[in-house]
Amino acid sequence: MYSYFYMFSKYNMNLIIDIGNTRAKLTVFNNNTIIKKIISDIKSINKNVRKLQKDYIVENCIISSVSKFGPSEFKNAESFNTFIELSRHTNIPFINKYDSPSTLGVDRIALASAAATKCPSKNVLVIDAGTCITYDFINANGEYLGGAISPGIAIRYKSLHKFTANLPLLKKSNFKLIGTDTESSIHSGVLNGLIQEIEAVIGQYRAKYQNLTVVLTGGDTNFLAKKLKSTIFANPNFLLEGLNSILIHNLDE
């Protein structure tokens, strides 16, 4: 197995580590192909990295973190030929025209990088349906212009429960347009409301930018993709692919 991957991989293999608030995704890429992906709790990241290093010839690594887990907690950096901690100072494969580039989250940087490298010379709207719903736009000239941040599904349910006296805390479910009791009314309000928001935003971008490519990603990709009428590309791994594209971009420098 090792000799096969060594022969066909331009850079051998890359390890992509995407750390959220409660868990991390550890993904091994052979060039642009995902070979292995595991979900890890944050305290087990170092152990799982060592396990992947035993199973695969991993030479390069990029780490992206929105939590407090950073380089001081990561014990494996020196074991890689190239190690990158993604930040606003990292060399990226697009032109960042955000008015406050220092405040642009690493997750949105990765999504814009994926759009620039996987959809070159196209207008691309990336919708990341996770804890928040983020909209990120990169134009056909490879320029990142910005987007929007909106509450995600779970936040919408929690808000109704927290800021009212009697509404229950629910989780996403199938819904009908006309709610006939409290729970079905909440589902309709949260989910139908979000779907209409996404459809409207896509419509606004399509009215302004021709030949728009829309990518839906994030934890709620599969749930939302089936309910949207607009033509989209659903790719739950888009952020991971963006991180890998940043790593390759820096290896090519």
Q: Is pLDDT above 90 for 66?
A: no
Rounded distance, CA 178 to CA 97, Å?
Answer: 43
Q: Is pLDDT above 60 for 5?
A: no
Q: How open is the CA angle 209-210-213, to the nearest 5 degrees?
A: 85
How far from 10 is each of 25, 42, 86, CA to CA, in Å?
A: 23, 30, 22
Active-site residue list: 107
Token pair for residue 228? Answer: 């949207």
Average pLDDT, the chain: 92
The partner residues of 146 in beta bridges, in order of sequence, read: 137
CB 175 within 8 A of CB 226: no
Largest interatomic CA distance in the chain: 63
24-64 pLDDT, tens per residue? 999 999 989 999 999 999 999 999 999 999 999 999 999 99
Helix axes 106-118 and 238-251, enclosed angle (nearest 10): 80
Buried residues in 117-149 as b, exposed as e (16+ CB within 10 A): bbbeebbbbbbbbbbbbbbbbbbbebebebbee
Question: How many residues does the structure list for the chain?
Answer: 253
How far from 11 is each of 64, 79, 189, CA to CA, in Å?
A: 20, 15, 48
107-128 pLDDT, tens per residue? 999 999 999 999 999 999 999 9
The partner residues of 234 in beta bridges, in order of sequence, read: 216
Give helix then strand counts, H and E, for the chain: 8, 11
Q: What is the pTM of this model?
A: 0.90
Q: What domains can be seen in the chain, in order of their start residue?
A: 1-85 (3.30.420.40), 87-253 (3.30.420.40)
Query: Can you tell me whether residue 204 is helix, strand or coil?
Result: helix
Q: Is pLDDT above 60 for 9?
A: no
| DSSP code of residue 94 | S
Q: Is pLDDT above 50 for 145?
A: yes
211-239 pLDDT, tens per residue? 999 999 999 999 999 999 998 999 999 99
Rounded distance, CA 103 to CA 105, Å?
Answer: 6
Phi, psi of 141 (to 5 degrees): -90, 5
160-197 pLDDT, tens per residue? 999 999 999 999 999 999 999 999 999 999 999 999 99
Q: Is pLDDT above 80 for 158?
A: yes
Q: State the pLDDT confidence band at 71, using cuts at 50, 70 and 90.
A: low
Compare 17 and 2 and report the one with higher pLDDT.
17
Phi, psi of 97 (to 5 degrees): -110, 20
Q: Which residue bears the tokens 């888009």?
A: 238
How far from 117 is each of 87, 100, 213, CA to CA, in Å?
A: 18, 23, 13
